[in-house]
Structure 1
Amino acid sequence: MADRKTETLHPSSAGLHLAPAAEVLSRLLDAQLAAIATIRPILPALMTAADAAATALQSGGKMGYAGAGSSGLMALADCLELWGTFGIATDRTPMLFAGGSAALIKLTGAVEDDPALAVADLAAAQIGAGDVVICVSASGTTPYTMAVAQGAKAKGAQVIGLANAAGSALLDLADFPVLLDTGPELVAGSTRMAAASAQKIAMNMLSVLVGIRLGHVHDGYMVNLVADNAKLVGRAVGIVAAVSGQDGQTATAALHAASGAVKPAILIALGASHAEAQTRLQASGGHLSAALADGVAR
């Protein structure tokens, strides 16, 4: 592991154990900010990866996530938000996490070294041709994650590889490699810090771009959200009112008429019938802007 940047000492780590608390925190923050800055140069790679993922979902395929340990947790955090934020069905966004749910209660290192678990998880997720899997590994060599990537490719799926080590096996294997060159950690090897922060932000950006490509974002509004609690119902009413320009009462009635679906509710609030709203959205591929441009009131 000596040749991995994530395992070497950070230049600012000297005397870390003796530094005042304020100095320790300042160094940690600087390291995090430096890690985040590594994302800007790889924006083109993220765009290409997002296009591939959006194409898979538009074609009826899956966008899966895979990882172990800290990297897996970052992938899981992004994966779990896709249903509530963008209304993407959970069976279309499977999460392959080394050790499964038991490892979420107590992270164990051994599971990330077991390729057999990856093979089983890949089969359970039914990944195949037309799908995309986002594989995340700080080192780019984690056996579980590599086995998922290799197995996915063998089944005809495409692999988006996120790693924090240049020239790593995962980046070499991936159809869409994304290098987050975050370098050494202030606590050597603790990739839950800078490396994980960059991973989380990169995946946030990728999945938001996917949501936009699918038509699930209009201006800054999540117009395909699933309102399954009081907060989100209130948010949905606010979105319908803001985009349609109607008052809250009209927005609430439209949302009720659309059974809680925000996109058709916006069109209904502007005078469309429920059937017309559905027809226009189907014709626009689910993109609200095109449905609005086509006119909704008769």
Structure 2
Amino acid sequence: MTKITEQSSLHDHLERMSSEELLRRMNEEDKKVAEAVEKVIPQVALLVEELTGRFLDGGRLFYIGAGTSGRLGVLDASEIPPTFGMPFDRVVGLIAGGDGAIRKAVEFAEDDTSQAWKDLMEYNITENDVVVGIAASGTTPYVLGGMKAAKEHGILTAGITNNPGSPLAKAVDIPIEVNVGPEFVTGSTRMKSGTSQKLVLNMISTALMIRIGRVEGNKMVNMQLNNKKLVHRGIRFIMEATGIDQKTAAKTLEMYGSVKKAIQALRG
């Protein structure tokens, strides 16, 4: 049986379409993604709950993937320090072929079943950590090998895939199976499958950061203040939280170097 991610597109003769028709039909397919993600919220919630306790005990979150899936994991992990002020090694994205594969595909890197565990071992992974494998097809050897080894070592595993019933879904403790249907361009999982993975990864990491106290109200009070835009945002957050004037907010932020610490100081 053909995998859903390899099934023929519902649209044909793409080369005959105008630019606007191509875009409208792509958008028609993209509208299906959020609905597919909605159906897996209970599984994502379970993962967030399991992650929260482990994270508060010092555990870490690892994403492993190849190609588009690996790049999306690396992207999500890389945004955690600037957005939530977490150390860079608490959420880690690993891609088959190493960091060089983020920009340029590394031939056959995803076919090595033992490399993912070797990559994880470089971080001295323990039973307190969680590994999330990402593979649209659910058959990527790099990911499957990593999941198998992680489970053998007593580590909680989850898998994000776009093929329900795939080997990845069967190999992990928490399967997250997002059925977005055939791609607009047959087999091009950088499209709907990749979009669904990005949505799920956003949900996992953002919900986790909120649950462990890195957000107050709806504000990123722990964000890194590494450019003028973010400094101005931080000043505004302080003003809104305390009711003080802009000058005092700016001075307090400069003094403490943290939105959260500045608000705490002003509140006494």
State whether TM-score is above 0.5: yes
Quote the Cα distance in structure 2 between the aligned partners of 1:22 and 1:243: 45
Partner in structure 2 of residue 262 of structure 1: 259
Match 2:226 to one of 208, 218, 228: 228
Q: Deviations over 1:245-273 (max 9, x none)?
A: 22222222322332x12222101122x2x
Contact 1:254 1:265 in 2 (8 A): yes
What does residue range 1-298 of structure 1 map to in structure 2 within 5 Å? 3-11=2-10, 13-258=11-256, 260-270=257-267, 272=268
- Structure 2 SS opposite 1:227: coil
Deviation of 1:9 after TM superposition, in Å, equals: 0.5
Of structures 1 and 2, the one scoring higher in RCO (CA 8 A, sep 6+) is 2
Contact 1:49 1:176 in 2 (8 A): yes
Deviation of 1:226 after TM superposition, in Å, equals: 1.6
Contact 2:64 2:116 in 1 (8 A): no
Distance 1:238 1:69, change over 3 A: same
Deviation of 1:36 after TM superposition, in Å, equals: 2.4
**1:161 partner amino acid:** G
Quote the Cα distance in structure 1 between the aligned partners of 2:181 and 2:124: 35
Contact 1:244 1:267 in 2 (8 A): no
Over aligned residue pairs, what C-alpha RMSD do you find? 1.5
- Structure 1 SS opposite 2:44: helix
**1:256 partner amino acid:** E
Deviation of 1:4 after TM superposition, in Å, equals: 0.5
> Which stretches of structure 1, 4 residues or longer, exceed 4 Å deviation after superposition?
none
Quote the Cα distance in structure 1 between the aligned partners of 2:6 and 2:246: 55
Quote the Cα distance in structure 2 between the aligned partners of 1:187 and 1:141: 20
**1:104 partner amino acid:** I
- Structure 2 SS opposite 1:91: coil
Contact 1:128 1:152 in 2 (8 A): no
- Structure 2 SS opposite 1:66: strand
Quote the Cα distance in structure 2 between the aligned partners of 1:87 and 1:54: 17
Deviation of 1:180 after TM superposition, in Å, equals: 0.7
Q: Deviations over 1:25-49 (max 9, x none)?
A: 1111111111222011111111111
Deviation of 1:109 after TM superposition, in Å, equals: 4.1
TM-score of the superposition, structure 2-length normalised?
Answer: 0.95
Percent identity (aligned): 34
Quote the Cα distance in structure 2 between the aligned partners of 1:200 and 1:94: 15
- Structure 2 SS opposite 1:253: helix
Deviation of 1:193 after TM superposition, in Å, equals: 0.2
Contact 1:65 1:96 in 2 (8 A): yes
- Structure 2 SS opposite 1:125: coil
Structure 1: gaps (5+ residues)? 273-298
Structure 2: gaps (5+ residues)? none
Alignment length, in residue pairs?
268
Deviation of 1:138 after TM superposition, in Å, equals: 0.2
